[in-house]
Structure 1
Amino acid sequence: MFDFIRTHQRLMQLILLILVVPSFVFLGISGYSFVTADPALVEIGKASVNRDEFVQAQRSQLQQMQESSQGRFDPALLDNPQARQALLDQLIDRKLQIDVATRNHFSVSDGALRRAIAAMPQLQVDGQFSPDRYHEVLTSYGLTPRDFEAGQRSELALDRVLGPVRDTAALPAPVLDGLKRALTEERTIRLRVFKAGDHAKDVQVSDKDIQAWYDGHQDALRLPDQVSADYLVLDEAAALASVPTIEEARLKDYYEQNKSRYVVPARVNVSHILVKLPAGASEEVAKTALAKAAGIATRARAEPSGFADLARKESQDAGTAREGGRLGWIQRGTLPLAMEQAVFALKQGEVSDPVKGPDGYHVFMADQVQPEQGESFEQARAKVEDEVRRQLAADRFADMATKLTSLVYDNPSSLDPAAKDLGLQVRKADGIARDRLLSADEAGAGAASASGDSAILGDVRVRQALFSSQVLTDKQNSGVIEISPDTMVVVRVHDVTPSHVPALDQVKNHIRAQLTDERARAAAVAEGEKVLASLGAQPSTEGFGEPATVSRLDPAGLSKDVLDAAFSIHTDKALPAFGGVALARAYAIVQVDAVRPGTTDAPALAGLGQQMARVWGSVERQAVLAELRQQLGVKVTDEGRKLIEQGDSGSN
């Protein structure tokens, strides 16, 4: 299951696109209109799904995807028969549920409705339902509580049709146990790989072969409609380039104001011994404490290396005594003035006289002394200038962005005025299609995909703008497109190249390489299959790699194809057993040396039962819907089939 999801990403993307917005609105409003004169796409008993309903649902779906992706969603992902079929199926399923709910008079109590609304995360603050948040969300969507609650009541009533099927689904224990055993079973395998590249040198491809392939693959070679674009990019680099020379005085002022970033102040790594002096102590007690501290200082100077041991014995600061009196690094401004002056007057290894502090007399020792260090203005000048220039560029960027918007609007048929005024360069790129950037082989040396701006030009919003009627047909500038907070682009179409099949000379090398790869792979497969057949008669480990233990949960880096081959080999007879699999550019023989059961209570399987119960529930739900389709006689009309295959424009 996990491998299926991992290796069918395009299919899973489509499924997610359809499932993520099942009701086509933020909170599931069910206000559909079912009476219309539009031609029916699907007939469902006495009801139907018409074109208006489909178009409305499609627009809402696209709007939600655009909002959730902040405009980066590519509408082309929904412009295909599979997506249209999936959306139509959703509308059919909904009509089926409405029919069942209506015929059976399903309803929802006020209490159930309140509990359902209170459980919505969108309406909660700190995990609790918030009336203020409730009204704020409804207001933002232009809804009244009455309309919203009526819609939710309908949604909950519909959920009674299939909800019990979903909620009561349970995976049979034998099935779950078998699945766990299959996922954790371990096999010790070896691989022998026959690479296509080893056969490439022996492959011969003639001009006749190339011509035949070219003639037989016209559809595969056909390039989509594409445009060559002129464009302006406003980014940090452009803003930096617009900053004029910075005066020396300004750089020096910036250095002084931010000196701490370039200069590390002096500091001392210090230890101390404290002789406490109680608050309000008499003069006699103070003299005694000072004498004791002086004696400690004398002893410390006599043997500086024993300062830590002396601190452990004599210091009355319990917090630092056990650490040998260590205070750590001290900078100016940390200690009272008298203590600071004493500490910073010490050289490394020196011991101070007793210094009176708020809590008694301190004897300090400088373990390490680090004088002020860093860069002078001259040494830091390059960094200072770069920082000042970037700050100025940030301000310039905002001004330039405003000007760019105005200049593009005021001069809709040319990028030159904006380029001249802002000091930007009009750049050019070829091979931009609606759904992708063509490769350099397809579009030539000026391909957008090969330029440094490929990420910008490949952005879905840029491609949408280039193929909008304003830009493509009317030959106008696009608006300013914000790719990121510090990158903006304006595009216009320079030239349009209709869909076509490239000339043979343009794709000849590509065809030669493809035929070479195909034939080399075929040779590798033939060699591998021949060796595999011989192993059945006389097993041998010659040419195989080191053994590795794998399971479906832990493939140890194996590709899905190889892993599937390893676990499809029958091991009920004597081992080793062998199997083979053709790969993209190779053929692999898998040798199974050992099979043993895994640990079915592994932590990775902890949630498997719940996951599979949800899958099981989804399957049962689909089975119920399929039965309802048969009972009500769901029929897709010619108009519906045409829409699925051609889209909305195909039926106009």
Structure 2
Amino acid sequence: MFDLVQKNKTAVQVVLGLVSLGLVVGFGIGGYSAFHDSEPYLAKVGSTLITERELAEAVGNRNVPDNMKPSLVAQLVSQQLLQEEARGLRMVATDESLRELIATIPAFQVDGKFDPKRYKELLANQQMTPEMFQARLKQDIVARQLIGGFSQAAIVSSAVQGRVEKMLGERREVQLAFLGADAFLKGMSVTDEEIKQYYDANQSEFKMPEMVKLEYLVLSQAALASGQQVSDAEIQKFFDENKEKIGKPLAEVKSQIKDLLKMQKSQAAFRDKAREFNEIVYQKADSLKPAAEAFNLQILKSDWVSRESAKERELSNPKIAEAVFSDDVLNKKHNSEAIEVSQGVMVAARVVEHKPEQVLPLADVSAKVADKLKMEKAVKKAQEDGVAKLKALQEGQGVNLAWSPAKALARAEAHGLDDEQIKAIFRVGTDKLPGYAGTEVKGKGYVFFKVAKVLPADQLPAEGKLQMADALAQMYGQVALDGYLEALRKQIKVEYKLAPSKSQEK
């Protein structure tokens, strides 16, 4: 069960809002309601559409920059392909395995034990019901079961593993020295003409985006569920009909049954409430007050909202920005339509304050531009000086640098160094030591590396060899999985409206 929790940790974190853009998306596609039958889509897998709404939900309803969308959409397409295949193979996650998994998730525990109240509270904070969470987690478990077969089937030869162990285990004793731009900054100067040229050529840097402040209402299914009434007779009836499955006395499960029945009632009522909510904000378009009074909602006020971002979670959905910057809402001062920003959450908004896009005047940014240009010149000077000093070191000349204490580094132990710096260190020839390497540090200067000693790889213990074999099997398995996904794309029609690159499709 521990392995199952570890493999599904990403999925759980997505629901709890703990991952940020750039991480692997954990959940598949949940489909969407009749409100979105005509919604434009980013990709289509079989008959399942991947829309902006699904993309936003997959990353915790955060706004997704355009340059990241192709990669994230490609991940969602791959996940949906696996789910389609799992359905075809009749693979399912049992209710028992799901309950066991949820009970072992630390976020849902109090004093080391699963706590139903905390479980519901955390999900409610994400505008999600237990039923929604469990349905999505089931999808994720099944997809990961399908993926797991590839890493388990991969076989790596002992010779290949031995070479990898030797390469990764080798360590080099390294000292660092840094030549920073600050050492050259005092000698740098810029002219008014240079400042003006930069300002004219980079107007986009000084643009303040168009922004609005909003009043808005939030109608949520979770809040609706809390107001539902459930009688003792209804609880008794449910218990009697499911007594064998429950297997506990009514007194022990009464509160859980009550919550379940509340949610079932709210699911049946929410669609009607959402439609009524939309009708009121549309028909009474000059104010949100009628809808607020009809549904006993508080009119909330936002901070400044741009087309790209909003501080308030409910307003981060791209469809909100599309609506509030439309002519009808922005210029005619009407309410927006009721927008489903996540499953079971509707938002209606209106503009109360507006700032048009503007370019800050040169006088306001002149000092900032001057500082930037001086730093750019200082960085360039430091890097040129660094290249010259490295050449002198490699030719055996003495160079006055402040070297750090020696530290043993391995390829897999970055210690704050980037990939290019690690590569530079391990490209140093070992026939004559010390050897030297150096790289530019973007925007900062130049860094030198002195390799004084090579330390051969230690013999891995048995447990380490098993871990290495597992890691290599996963790498080989990923190659096999990429091929499998490519085959699925030929069987299941995939259509992109937002076309990813070939590397992103994998």
With the length of structure 2 as denominator, give the TM-score of the two structures: 0.54
Give 2:51's match in structure 1, choosing from 42, 51, 54: 54
Matched, 1:592 2:451: yes
Query: Is 1:526 the equivalent of 2:381?
Result: no
Change (3 A) 1:78 1:541: same
Q: Which residue of 1 aligns with 2:239?
A: none
Change (3 A) 1:174 1:435: farther
Cα distance in 1, alignment partners of residues 86 and 213 from structure 2: 55
Contact 2:27 2:136 in 1 (8 A): no
C-alpha distance in structure 2 between counterparts of 1:43 and 1:630, whole Å: 14
State the one-letter code of the partner of 1:622: D
For 1:553 and 1:561, how far apart are their aligned partners in 2?
9
- Paired AA for residue 539 in structure 1: G
**Letter of the structure 2 residue corresponding to residue 529 of structure 1:** V
Q: Distance in 2 between matches of 1:100 and 1:494?
A: 49
User: 1:204 aligns to what?
Assistant: 189
Match of 1:120 in 2: 101
- 1:158-207 Cα offsets, whole Å, 9 max, x none, are 66654422443456545554444444422223334322122223223111
Cα distance change of structure 1 residues 181 and 39 upon mapping to structure 2, 3 Å threshold:
same
* SS state at 1:205 partner: coil
Q: Is the 8 A contact 2:424 2:439 kept in 1?
A: no
Partner of 2:270: none
Question: 2:20 — aligned with what?
Answer: 13
Q: Secondary structure at the match of 1:592?
A: strand
Secondary structure at the residue paired with 2:174? strand
CA contact 1:191–1:544 (8 Å) conserved in 2: no
Contact 1:226 / 1:434 at 8 angstroms: preserved in 2? yes
Please list the CA deviations of residues 298-320 of structure 1 after superposition, one character each: whole Å capped at 9, or x if unmatched. xxxxxxxxxxxxxxxxxxxxxxx
- Which of 339, 348, 366 pairs up with 1:508? 366
Q: Does 1:194 align with 2:179?
A: yes
Cα separation, 2, equivalents of 1:631 and 1:14: 30
Contact 1:434 1:464 in 2 (8 A): no
Residues 606 and 37 of structure 1, relative CA distance in 2, 3 Å threshold = same
Distance 2:104 2:434 in 1: 61
Q: Deviations over 1:43-76 (max 9, x none)?
A: 55xx3443xx5255346436xx3xxxxxxxxx4x
SS at match of 2:453: strand
**Correspondence 1:262-281 to 2 at 5 A:** none
Contact 1:193 1:589 in 2 (8 A): yes
For 2:300 and 2:56, how far apart are their aligned partners in 1? Answer: 31
Query: 2:28: which partner in 1?
Result: 23
Residue 629 (structure 1) aligned to one of 480, 489, 499: 489
**What letter corresponds to residue 78 of structure 1 in structure 2?**
N
**Residue 627 of structure 1 aligns to which amino acid in structure 2?**
A
Q: Deviations over 1:236-258 (max 9, x none)?
A: xxxxxxxxxxxxxxxxxxxxxxx
SS state at 1:528 partner: helix
1:567 and 2:456 aligned: no
- How far apart in 1 are the matches of 2:207 and 2:133? 50
- Compared with structure 1, are the counterparts of its residues 60 and 534 closer, same or farther at alpha carbon in structure 2 (3 Å cutoff)? closer
- Paired with 1:548 and 1:162, the residues of 2 have a C-alpha distance of 43
SS at match of 2:377: helix
How far apart are the structure 1 equivalents of 2:299 and 2:488? 56
Q: Aligned partners of 1:600, 1:544: CA distance in 2, in Å?
A: 36
Q: CA deviation at 1:597?
A: 1.5
- Aligned residue for 1:540? 397
| Deviation by residue 1:442-489 (Cα, 9 ceiling, x = unmatched) | xxxxxxxxxxxxxxxx9656997999969999799xxxxxxxxxxxxx
Change (3 A) 1:573 1:57: same
Quote how far apart the aligned CAs of 1:635 are.
Answer: 3.5
Q: 1:224 to 1:524 in 2, by over 3 A?
A: same
Q: Distance in 1 between matches of 2:314 and 2:130?
A: 34
Q: CA deviation at 1:100?
A: 3.8
- Distance (whole Å) between structure 2 residues aligned to residue 142 and residue 469 of structure 1: 28
How much has 1:119 moved relative to structure 2?
Answer: 3.7
Paired letter, 2:455 = R
Partner letter of residue 629 of structure 1?
Answer: R
CA positional deviation for 1:211: 1.1
Give the aligned residue type for 2:171: E
> Cα 1:462–1:202, aligned 2, differ >3 Å: closer, same or farther?
farther
Aligned to 2:439: 581
Residue 525 of structure 1 and its aligned partner are, at CA, apart by: 0.9
State the alpha-carbon separation in 2 of the partners of residues 629 and 525 from structure 1.
48
593-602 or 201-210: bigger deviation: 593-602
Give the number of equivalent residue pairs.
Answer: 365
The offset of 1:209, in angstroms, is 1.0
Cα pair 1:203 1:516 within 8 Å, conserved: yes
Q: Give the SS at the match of 2:447.
A: strand
* Secondary structure at 1:582 match in 2: strand
What is the distance in 2 between the residues matched to 1:521 and 1:152? 49
1:557 and 1:57 mapped to 2: Cα distance?
Answer: 38
Q: Which has the higher mean CA deviation after the structures are superposed, 155-164 or 194-203?
A: 155-164
What is the percentage of aligned positions where both structures have the same residue? Answer: 20
User: Tell me, what secondary structure is at the counterpart of 2:186?
Assistant: helix
Report the counterpart of residue 291 of structure 2 in structure 1. Answer: none
Contact 1:194 1:524 in 2 (8 A): yes
The whole-number CA distance in structure 1 between the counterparts of 2:452 and 2:75 is 49
The residue type paired with residue 634 of structure 1 is V
C-alpha change, 1:614 and 1:527, in structure 2 (3 Å) is: same
Tell me the secondary structure at the aligned position of residue 22 of structure 1: coil
User: How far is 1:502 from its partner?
Assistant: 1.1
Distance 1:521 1:608 in 2: 43
Larger Rg belongs to = 1
Query: How far off is 1:213 after superposition?
Result: 1.0
Contact 1:550 1:556 in 2 (8 A): no
Q: What pairs up with 1:604-623 in 2 under 5 angstroms?
A: 608-609=467-468, 610=470, 613-614=473-474, 616-623=476-483
Q: 1:193 is aligned with what amino acid?
A: F
Q: 1:433 to 1:91 in 2, by over 3 A?
A: closer
Structure 2 contact 43–496 (Cα < 8 Å) conserved: yes
Give the Cα separation in 1 of the matches to 2:44 and 2:352: 48
Distance 1:501 1:80, change over 3 A: same
Render the CA deviation track for 1:544-577: whole Å, top value 9, x for unaligned.
4445022137969654368525524332432222
Matched, 1:89 2:94: no
After superposition, where does 1:155-554 map in structure 2 within 5 Å?
161-169=146-154, 173-226=158-211, 434=306, 460=312, 496-536=354-394, 538-546=395-403, 547-552=405-410
Structure 1 pair 543/614, CA: closer, same or farther in 2 (3 Å)? same
Task: Please report how far the alpha carbon of residue 117 of structure 1 lies from its aligned counterpart in structure 2 after TM superposition.
Answer: 3.9
CA contact (8 A) 1:41 1:49 kept: no
Offset of residue 629 of structure 1: 2.1
Q: Aligned equivalents of 1:435 and 1:496: distance in 2?
A: 12
Give, in whole Å, the separation in 2 of the partners of 1:41 and 1:170: 37
C-alpha displacement at 1:220, in angstroms?
2.5
2: distance between equivalents of 1:117 and 1:632? Answer: 28
Post-superposition Cα deviations, 1:354-413, rounded to whole Å, max 9, x if no partner, equal xxxxxxxxxxxxxxxxxxxxxxxxxxxxxxxxxxxxxxxxxxxxxxxxxxxxxxx99989
Instruction: Give RMSD over aligned pairs.
Output: 5.6
The secondary structure found in structure 1 opposite 2:51 is helix
Please give the secondary structure, in 2, of the residue aligned with 1:595.
strand
SS of the equivalent of 1:13 reads coil
Structure 2 Cα separation of the partners of residues 512 and 222 of structure 1: 18
Superposed, 1:97-112 pairs within 5 Å as 97-101=82-86, 105-106=89-90
